[in-house]
Chain A
Amino acid sequence: GENVEQHPSTLSVQEGDSAVIKCTYSDSASNYFPWYKQELGKRPQLIIDIRSNVGEKKDQRIAVTLNKTAKHFSLHITETQPEDSAVYFCAASSGGGADGLTFGKGTHLIIQP
């Protein structure tokens, strides 16, 4: 089955700086890669996703890049703000998500004022 590794487990950055979270996956058939943000005690919320036919996608301060050859994808957050503090999860799936998502273990992002 699919295995998703996520690094780092904790990331502390100064407000205004950029943050990068990296994930690798094992199943070359995976074709859908969402990123979720989870605040304490709340449900995960989708922040951005990318499909395997695209190498990069941006949405304001957030971007995701995908390297299919190396089987890794990354989340980039620029101009970080205090409200960006949360746990971020990457995930992967094959078959268009039909069989569910395989998640990384999460990155706790701390924005230092």
Chain B
Amino acid sequence: DGGITQSPKYLFRKEGQNVTLSCEQNLNHDAMYWYRQDPGQGLRLIYYSQIVNDFQKGDIAEGYSVSREKKESFPLTVTSAQKNPTAFYLCASIPAGGSNQPQHFGDGTRLSIL
């Protein structure tokens, strides 16, 4: 069954700690995206990658980092520099950038501060 898998579903971060959110897809999609959603707000783009070993900053990249070593995986690290990390994080993918294909989302990871 093809889809996007995000883990963990819930994550807690201590002060000064880096945490990594996992996003895996078995759809053979080229492009992958990370969004952040705050309560009562729309989604905001953090980072995206259109091809392996390449990625670009979105609108709110400060305090986050990503890697794209494999086509199917696009992990997001929330660093200690992100002072307000509590949010719902959503990963999405499309077959290829520029294809006007709809983005489909994973089930998300809810990150909270301890």
> How many chain A residues touch the partner (CB < 8 A)?
27
Show the binding face of A for B, using Cβ within 8 Å: 1, 4, 6, 31-32, 34, 42-46, 49, 51, 89, 91, 95-106
Residues of A within 8 A of B108 (CB): 43
In the complex, given contacts A95-B97, A103-B35, what are 5 additional A-B residue pairs having Cβ atoms less than 8 angstroms apart?
A: A34-B102, A43-B106, A101-B45, A101-B103, A106-B42
B42, A89: Cβ atoms under 8 Å? Answer: yes
Chain B residues with CB under 8 Å of A106's CB are 40-42
Q: A1-B59, A98-B50 are in contact. Are A46 and B104 (CB under 8 A)?
A: yes
CB pair A97 B97 closer than 8 Å: yes
Q: How many residues of B contact A (CB 8 A)?
A: 28
User: Quick check: B43 and A97 within 8 Å, CB to CB?
Assistant: no
Residues of the A chain whose Cβ atoms lie less than 8 Å from the Cβ of B45: 100-102
Which of A42, A44, A89 has the largest count of B CB atoms less than 10 A from its CB? A44
- 9 A–B pairs (Cβ distance < 8 Å), ordered by A: A44-B90, A46-B102, A89-B42, A97-B99, A98-B31, A98-B98, A101-B103, A103-B43, A105-B42
